[in-house]
Amino acid sequence: MTTADPSFGGHPDPAAAVPGGDDATRPERRADKLLVASLLVVILLSGAVQYFDIYMLAAVNVVLQLALLAKSGFRVSRAIGAAALMIYAYLFYSLLLHHPSDLIFIAFRFHDILTALLVLNYILVRKPDVGRTLEVTLMILIVHGFINWLLVTFAFGLFSKASGIGSYKFLIFFGRAETAFGIHRSQGLFWEPGVYQIYLNVALHFFLFYAKRNMWAALSFVGLVLTLSTTGVVLASLQLLVFLFGVKQKLSMKVLKIVIFLPFFLVYVGFAQTVVEDKLSGASKGSYMARNFDTLNGIAVTLEHPWGIGFNPGTYQKFARENTFNIDTPLNTDRGQTNGVLILAYSTGVVWAVIVLFATFRQKIFPHYRVLFFFVLIGSMTTEPLFYSPFVWLFTLSGMMPIRLPGLGDRA
């Protein structure tokens, strides 16, 4: 790539940056509709499978991946070679860990991983406007989230109980009956607000540091506040601090930002403190206690089985149900794991966890503030069981590619 994509913080043609510039020199920004559809299904596979039939989603995803391959002329980019070899090695290792009766779990894991690889291959081959495509995808999630919250708040009578989970649904809108601080928590398309905050924090990162769309960054932030997610609030605060004080800019601009944002920030800090205290010692402390048990038990399983126990969740649940490591907790321990990083560690072992985490850190999608985004992504994964999801593996596999992705920043 010889010129940077302006939507991702590169250095665009001056005419494109000046209102009223020469239309002939302003690059046209157009979202790739097929890629938008594929990314939306990837996101549904990465946090909404409780609401949608997983086999139906997988079937739709296969059709979309075949369409992406067809549109790219069934070409394969050389840049995915290292990532593909890693996947094959990981698959071979996974097969060694599993009984033949558990192959279905391997199939689902590698369906998601290969989905991420095919999406990246399409981007490398077709070179679509990734910035605009990602903008549209995230905007859809944000707008849906606000409509969803308004319906749950003011028209909850339209909703009926969703089978098998503690949420209610109306068409493609979802919510819970209980409130916190007198309001319903926003959860968008996802099974709980803690999942929705992941995508809102990704959106906040993208709109603050790459797209430079202040209105959409503000909407992402408001959406995060409405989730009342402790993790989401903490990670959003970190991103705002970096944006306000960590971005290179003139001293006068920094002073102006402090003057403008300080009153708002003080109010927000008080709100964030209230949310965190509620989770740690208030009415919502059950969530913290559950994740604390999951973390301690997950670490114990990892230390006991450093080479991995496989992908079958029943294997882990046996340790949890019997509380094999005698962790002191008032909870019913017959539960699954919520810490995605520990799921990675105890599923296929510590060595593979280090490899995957390093590749995730080296991701090429948001290269400008790599450390910050790593904290956002991994911080979210420690509270949700989503590391083995195609959305997360888009970042992981991009970190194994020797070249920067087209349209994703001017440096890696």
Percent of the chain scored above 70 by pLDDT? 79
Beta bridge partners of 175: 168
Its sign, for the CA torsion 159, 161, 162, 166, is positive
In the structure encoding, which two tokens stand for residue 66, read together? 């075949």
- 260 pLDDT tier (thresholds 50, 70, 90): low
- 17 pLDDT tier (thresholds 50, 70, 90): very low
pTM of the model: 0.86
Radius of gyration of the chain (CA): 22
Task: Find out whether 372 and 238 touch, Cβ atoms under 8 Å.
Answer: yes
Task: Find out whether 158 and 170 touch, Cβ atoms under 8 Å.
Answer: yes
Tell me what the mean pLDDT of segment 225-236 comes to.
90
pLDDT of residue 82 exceeding 50? yes
- pLDDT computed for residue 81 by the predictor: 93
Question: pLDDT, tens digit, for every residue of 295-310?
Answer: 888 999 999 999 999 9
Spell 38-68 as b/e; 16+ CB within 10 A means b: bbbbbbbbbbbbbbeeeeebbebbeebbeeb
Sequence-distant (6+) residues with CB within 8 A of 141 are: 43, 188, 189, 199, 200, 203
- pLDDT computed for residue 256 by the predictor: 62
